[in-house]
Amino acid sequence: MADDAITLSNLSPAPGSRKARKRVGRGDGSGTGKTSGRGQKGQKARSGSHNMRPGFEGGQMPLYMRTGKLRGPHMKKSMPMGPFRTQTEIVNVGDVAAKFPAGTEVTPELLVESGLLSRVRHPVKVLGEGEVGHALTIRAHAFSASARAKIEAAGGAAQVIERAPAGSDD
């Protein structure tokens, strides 16, 4: 048993795990002589010139320039328009009412715990889809007019949370 012990004197890599590097341009007999595996002529055969940017099509008009673009910040599939693009986590007032009993103070963190939101990375807005049958105090960054009306009609309160200034890390 003592002879089978692994020591520094008998360490070696696993068979087949180490391979010698390819030495190109070392004569025709090596298999990678003459053109060194680059083929005959052309852009990719020249020295130092075949690192083209992604999407380069040899001078042809690239696909991303041939296709149409959707401009403007008003559609989710449009291109984002710089710092003016806003992102908001949304939740419907009917889903909140179905999830929480009467008298609960609902916060964005509580919405994440209940599974209605995946995370609170962006401001939370409550929309008016659904019905509210009992009083709830909902704290969010924004409310639609119909959501605020439904919450207050059921005897609850819609409290607005102030947003953190842009660029601050929470």
pLDDT tens digit string along 51-74? 888 888 888 999 888 887 777 666
Residue range 75-82: mean pLDDT, rounded? 62
CATH architecture of 88-160: Ribosomal Protein L15; Chain: K; domain 2 (3.100)
Domain parsing of the chain, residue ranges = 88-160
Q: Is the pTM of this model over 0.75?
A: no
CA 77 to chain centre: 14
Question: What percentage of residues in the chain have a pLDDT greater than 90?
Answer: 58
Question: What percentage of residues in the chain have a pLDDT greater than 70?
Answer: 85
Split at pLDDT 50, 70, 90, the class of 131 is very high
pLDDT of residue 156: 94
> In angstroms, rounded to a whole number, what is the distance separating the alpha carbons of residues 83 and 97?
34
